[in-house]
Amino acid sequence: MNSSELEKGISRGKGLFAEIIRVSSDFLERFEELDTAAIREFGQKRQSLLETLVNFHTEFQQKLRVEEKNFPLAMTKQVEEFRIFQEVFVHIIMEKNAAIISQANRSRERLRAELAVVGRGKQALQGYNRRKSLSQNYLDKTG
């Protein structure tokens, strides 16, 4: 692996990390207005990006294991900087994941509360209709 190939690999890796963070940030910003299909699409896109990143990382690490020992100091420094970049971006991705989970939990709790209100309203309506039908029957018997 020469310097140019290393730079291309590092650039590709940085692009993948940046894309995952961009997609996750965009999802978080629009979370409240997304429908089920958009949420599913995000999940698929994110999964695809993560698989691509894992494949890239595996291939890149295999190349580095073989050739890194013979790298000049400048290339070794590039690899170290990229490893630091990866650690920072993995941390950011984990923070985004936690924010998505938190947002989803809040949304789920809000929906549960709304569903409970609807359920109580439905029970009240059924009770009202039951009493109303009993009242009509009572009037029919006396009238």
Query: What pLDDT digit, counting tens, does each position of 73-121 carry?
Result: 889 999 999 999 999 999 999 999 999 999 889 988 988 888 887 777 7
Is 71 strand, coil or helix? coil
CA R_g for the chain: 28
pLDDT exceeds cutoff 60 at 135: no
CB 9 within 8 A of CB 63: yes
What is the reported pLDDT for 54?
A: 93
Residue 143: the pLDDT is 47
- Could you read off the pLDDT of 118-128 as tens digits, one per residue? 777 777 777 66
How many angstroms separate the most distant Cα atoms in the chain?
A: 105
Domain ranges of the chain: 3-142
